[in-house]
Amino acid sequence: QSVLTQPPSVSGAPGQTVTISCTGSSSNIGAGYDVQWYQQLPGRAPKLLIYGNSKWPSGVPDRFSASKSGSSASLAITGLQAEDEADYYCQSYDSSLSDYWVFGGGTKLTVL
Amino acid sequence: QVQLQESGPGLLKPSETLSLTCIVSGGSISSSRYFWGWIRQPPGKGLEWIAIIYYSGSTYYNPSLKSRVTISGDTSKNQFSLKLNSVTAADTAVYYCGRLCQGYKYGDNWFDPWGQGTLVTVSS
């Protein structure tokens, strides 16, 4: 069981907007630690999508956006495209287990 | 542009030791700006952080694996390595190495970039 909780799957049609939630606790997201998001295309390594709660690395389109509130965070993908079909993971830091970087269980995005 | 490449045997027998190396190009593991680490992903499952090393030699281990794991760095070769003892089938996974970047405060870190990953299978 992952420290950060994500829905196993979400889906949407091309052009639509989908959101993926990431729920933590007072020892990680709620403690003020930043949330990061990664995209993992089928058969590929994860790729950084968002860092520092809402910042874009170079080259990531602004169709991807993220926010954080309290002990939760969310990733929004607007103008859904077929190539967005992938697994998405959130990541943060947990201070309860002595120097511990944590991931969510991942969310499979299906573009209908 | 920093690139990372994992290398190591793809097949191990139970009780053997897993040894992987991550070769870093385009950047130095001696930089104080970054940490370097290993993450794994069992088939069809999520990501799990394994171990992290800092240029100073400081190491950090996932508590669930700490008793079996060692991470080390070789600045002369600009690479870092992972050893996992007494492997079982549960250690079958794709193993990734990655650079851990630092934010403004302790704990605000992100992995970027990642190596392409190497599949390690544990089977008798």
Consecutive sets of 10 residues in chain B, 124 residues long: mean pLDDT of each?
A: 95 97 96 95 96 93 95 96 97 98 90 98 96
Residue of B63, B103, B114 with shortest CB distance to A52: B103
Question: Could you tell me the sign of the dihedral formed by the alpha carbons of B110, B53, B37, B31, in that order?
Answer: positive
Q: Tell me, what's the pLDDT at A1?
A: 79
CA B19, distance to chain mean position in Å, is 10
CB A17 within 8 A of CB A77: yes
Which tens digits make up the pLDDT trace of A35-48?
999 999 999 999 99
Q: Is a pLDDT exceeding 70 seen at residue A32?
A: yes
Contacts of B101 in chain A (CB under 8 A): 51
Contacts of B100 in chain A (CB under 8 A): 101
CB B7 within 8 A of CB B101: no
Contact B110 A106 (CB under 8 A): no
Contact B96 A33 (CB under 8 A): no
pLDDT band per the 50, 70, 90 thresholds, residue A99: low
| Residue at token pair 């079982």 | B88
DSSP A56: P
DSSP A84: G
Average pLDDT over residues A71-90: 97
**Paired strand residues for B120:** B93
**Paired strand residues for A4:** A104
Q: Tell me, what's the pLDDT at B106?
A: 84
DSSP A4: B
Closest to B29 (Cα-Cα) out of B59, B61, B53:
B53
Contacts of B22 in chain A (CB under 8 A): none
Residue A91 in tokens: 């990541």
Contact B63 A38 (CB under 8 A): no
Residue of B48, B112, B115 with shortest CB distance to A57: B112
Q: Tell me, what's the pLDDT at B97?
A: 98
Residue A69 in tokens: 């509130």
pLDDT band per the 50, 70, 90 thresholds, residue A97: low
Give the integer Cα–Cα distance in Å for B37 and B117.
12
Q: Nearest-CA distance from B110 to chain A in Å?
A: 6
Give the integer Cα–Cα distance in Å for A56 and A77.
13
Q: Nearest-CA distance from A74 to chain B in Å?
A: 17
Contacts of A46 in chain B (CB under 8 A): 47, 96, 111, 114
B47 touches chain A (CB under 8 A): yes
Classify burial at A52, counting beta carbons within 10 Å of its beta carbon; exposed 0-12, middle 13-18, buried 19 or more. Answer: middle
Contact A52 B111 (CB under 8 A): no
